[in-house]
């Protein structure tokens, strides 16, 4: 029997989620992915039609602030049927309101923006786990995407730092509670995604990784996607972990090494 994955968070062809989908399709997964609203429906249709294996790919709208229960109670059932069990669920969603990212400081973050960033970027993973696990096979996986800003102070990352720290804490707590499943995070180096465009000085952050990471280069979406696929589908002995795919940048401290 073929394996089935659910991937949340596709916005365009540069999304990490889309790279993950392509990697899963290479291994002959049936993939259902979500996009945020009708505004992205045409993009989703275009992405599906661009794939030779489009028969194995389906898109569903899901606003994670309101519609995760409906996704599992109604929408997935229409696509997959009542008895299909998921082998992998991948959460690739992060958002903070523009005012929180452009204000320049954590101190400038409003209560409303703080709560919305955590609701979409972190709480959505908790609700996803609650709703998904009844539809998952024993030994299946929940995997989310994170960033170094969860554990380091990154200029201009602002409220997303605490939101990603919350997300990684959820990974550990859920791994402890959900012993029938594996729960992990993959922490990606900076990639040129739609979300990254909201970070002031993103190009400087990316250049810093290229200059100072032990591998001397920035990672690609494909690098991250292959690791997500491994963690989600093959790493049977790994749970509760954050796996870094950043060229080794996360281990570096001190003055630059002269190469």
Q: Is 147 an active-site residue? A: yes
β-strand partners of 70? none
Angular region, 216: left φ>0, alpha ψ -120 to 50, beta rest: left
> How far is Cα 237 from Cα 231, in angstroms, rounded to an integer?
10
> Catalytic site residue 249?
no
Helix axes 111-118, 160-177, angle to 10 degrees: 40
Among 35, 95, 123, 157, which one carries the catalytic annotation?
157
Token pair for 204:
């400087």
Order of all β-strands in the sheet with 136-146: 57-61, 30-35, 4-8, 86-91, 136-146, 182-188, 242-245
In this structure, the number of other CB atoms found within 10 A of the CB of residue 164 comes to 28
| 3-class DSSP assignment, residue 6 | strand
Q: Which bin fits 134, alpha (ψ -120 to 50), beta or left (φ > 0)? A: alpha
Q: Out of 35, 95, 123, 147, pick the active-site residue.
A: 147
Catalytic sites, residue numbers: 147, 157
């Amino acid at each position: 029997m073929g394996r089935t994955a659910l991937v949340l968070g596709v916005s365009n062809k540069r999304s990490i989620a889309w790279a993950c989908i392509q990697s899963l399709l290479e291994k002959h997964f049936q993939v259902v992915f979500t996009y945020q609203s009708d505004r992205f429906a045409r993009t989703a249709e275009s992405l599906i039609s661009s794939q030779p294996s489009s028969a194995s790919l389906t898109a569903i709208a899901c606003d994670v602030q309101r519609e995760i229960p409906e996704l599992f109670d109604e929408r997935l059932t229409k696509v997959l049927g009542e008895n299909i069990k998921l082998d992998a669920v991948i959460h690739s969603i992060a958002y903070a309101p523009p005012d929180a990212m452009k204000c320049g400081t954590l101190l400038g973050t409003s209560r409303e923006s703080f709560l919305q960033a955590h609701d979409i970027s972190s709480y959505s993973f908790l609700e996803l786990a609650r709703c998904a696990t009844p539809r998952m096979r024993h030994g299946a996986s929940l995997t989310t995407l994170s960033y170094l800003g969860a554990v380091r102070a990154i200029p201009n990352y602002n409220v997303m730092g605490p939101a990603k720290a919350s997300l990684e804490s959820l990974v550990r707590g859920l791994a402890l509670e959900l012993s029938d499943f594996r729960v992990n995070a993959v922490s990606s180096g900076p990639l040129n995604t739609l979300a990254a465009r909201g970070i002031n000085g993103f190009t400087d952050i990316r250049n810093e990784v290229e200059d100072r990471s032990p591998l001397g280069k920035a990672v690609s979406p494909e690098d991250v996607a292959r690791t997500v696929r491994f963690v989600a589908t093959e790493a049977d002995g790994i749970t509760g972990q954050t796996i870094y795919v950043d060229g080794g940048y996360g281990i570096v401290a001190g003055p630059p090494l002269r190469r």
